[in-house]
Amino acid sequence: MDKALERWVNCGLLKAIMNISRRELIALLGAGALGSSRSWAAQPEGKTYGVALVGLGSYATGQLGPALLETKRARLTGIVTGSPEKIPSWREKYGVAEGNVYSYENFDEIADNKDIDVIYIVLPPGMHAEYSIRAAEAGKHVICEKPMAATVEECDAMIAAAKKNKVGLHIGYRLHWDPYHQRLMEVARTEEMGKLKDFSAALAYQDRNPKAWKLSKKLGVAGELYNLGTYPVQAALYTVRENPIRVTATSHNARPELFTETPEGYDWVFEFPGGVKASGFASSAKSGNFLKADAEKGGFGLDQQAFAYGGIGGYVGEKRMNFPEVNQQALQIDGMCASLDKGEKGLAPGEMGRRDVALLQAIMKSAETGKPVEIGDLGYPAV
């Protein structure tokens, strides 16, 4: 059985289809889950891209590698790792040729490998700029995990390198292909529930791992703000549909013995030109995984695992959303490959990543100074 079909059968596809409304069905089609230009089930004819993953940590192992077994427009053809003990299992599972295995020391030799078209950077944020730029200089298209880089200046350098070498640069914003988030974008765009009045979102969980890269300022930059905060920040923009003009933020650190270089978490409030305020937080000290929007005719949002890989649940007014599970990463990678075919920036280009890093830095600055920070032109629209 086709893996995509098997996934749908396992999640009760028939039952889900029978229980969704016409509007939800339209939104689902738009998200690609039932076959559109974004769908791994029905991608248009085009090139199949060879992808190399740089960094074989938990996200590459648990999500991206398996997703590349489901993609129609891409396949895993290379790996880059500093852990030789991981190589045999990756080669066996994904059929990676011996000559397509690289270390960080010989990474630049990847330029001569015709099996590899796209390099996916799955490293801590503090390393994103260096390897994205080197990948572009090798003449390979780049997908970089979020957040794009440590600073706006690094983002600019990445964008310049991609432009100079005429390669694509995309950021791993998987939720732009998720049907629940697509539905929220539609509700916000059409003002189905009327004008937006208030917004809040958060992603946080209690973590006690003393070896996590987010604890390092050099690798993680700002702890959970960079690890998790990008999601609620992005959600505020594509729900409010404006770029913010001001942010007020604080940081907290209940475990200074563990978080010695970065805060344990951040709280913030964005102010938008139309008068809406959007609050959010990202933290290792508390829990939260939600997105809530209040509008003139009622509320809409995601109250179950809002930013998770699956198990998402949400509502529009009194009605619950009901979409089949999808592989967000497979949709994302195939969608990005389709954009490369057309020479388009796609749903999550480098310029979007730069915008979000500018907002993360504004949150950091406000928390550090204890004062609101004015936000200027971000160079990329909210949606």
Active site residue 231: yes
Q: Which of 49, 226, 231, 309 is catalytic?
A: 231
Q: What is the pLDDT of residue 211?
A: 82
Q: Which of 146, 180, 214, 309 is catalytic?
A: 146
Could you tell me whether strands 49-54 and 74-80 are parallel, antiparallel, or unpaired per DSSP bridges?
parallel
Give pTM, 2 decimals: 0.89
pLDDT tens for each residue of 125-158: 999 999 999 999 999 999 999 999 999 999 999 9
Active site residue 166: no
Residues linked to residue 149 through DSSP beta bridges, in sequence order: none
Q: What is the pLDDT of residue 33?
A: 40
Q: Give the chain's length.
A: 383
Q: Are 251 and 284 in contact (CB under 8 A)?
A: no
Q: What is the pLDDT of residue 181?
A: 98
Give which of 327, 347, 318 is closest to 335, Cα–Cα. Answer: 347
Q: 147: buried, middle or exposed (CB in 10 Å: 19+, 13-18, 0-12)?
A: buried
CA distance 321 to 11: 15
Q: For each of the domains in the chain, give its residue range(s) and CATH number, in order of start.
A: 36-173 (3.40.50.720), 175-324+349-374 (3.30.360.10)
Q: What is the pLDDT of residue 210?
A: 78
Q: What is the pLDDT of residue 45?
A: 65
Q: What is the pLDDT of residue 206?
A: 84
In which residue ranges of the chain is pLDDT below 50? 1-44
